[in-house]
Amino acid sequence: MAKMMMMKSAMKAMKAMKMKKTMKKTMKKMAMKKAMKKSVVAKGYKTRAGAARAVFSGRKMKTVGGLTKDKLTKSKSGKIVSKKQQANGKKAYNKYLAKWNKAVQAARKALGTKGFQAVGGKSTKGQALLKKARSIYKK
């Protein structure tokens, strides 16, 4: 009987040791777990402009579209835009609109128009402005 009791207590001690070892292992694993890696892509912003601003200021590395800081620039109005888009816009303006705008400015000066005046429209002044702008544009 005494022998049986000693065996039981020895078994209990071994079981406790085994439990201690496994607990130690699990605790070690838990301690080794790393935090999630912080994203370098500007995701989760309410607006596209907010994401672009985060990239431009250096808080994030790139936008969802893949634009990095070197591909972004500030426009005249203070918005952060893509350099490529800005260049395309300037090119389109120079190709199609610049000449017409110059013609309208010259026509306004020639007619002595002050303030707002719709080019064309229902008024006689507007019609005269349109006619003059067209004649200057054709030259």
Residue 39 has pLDDT above 90, yes or no: no
> What does pTM read for this prediction?
0.60
Domain ranges in the chain are 48-138
Instruction: Return the amino acid letter for 131.
Output: K
Contact, 107 vs 129, CB < 8 A? Answer: yes
CB atoms within 10 A of CB 130: 16
Taking only the tens place, the pLDDT of each residue in 88-117 is 999 999 999 999 999 999 999 999 999 999
Written as six digits, the tokens of 135 are 């004649």
Instruction: Return the amino acid letter for 85.
Output: Q
- 29 half-sphere exposure, CB direction, 13 A CA radius: 6
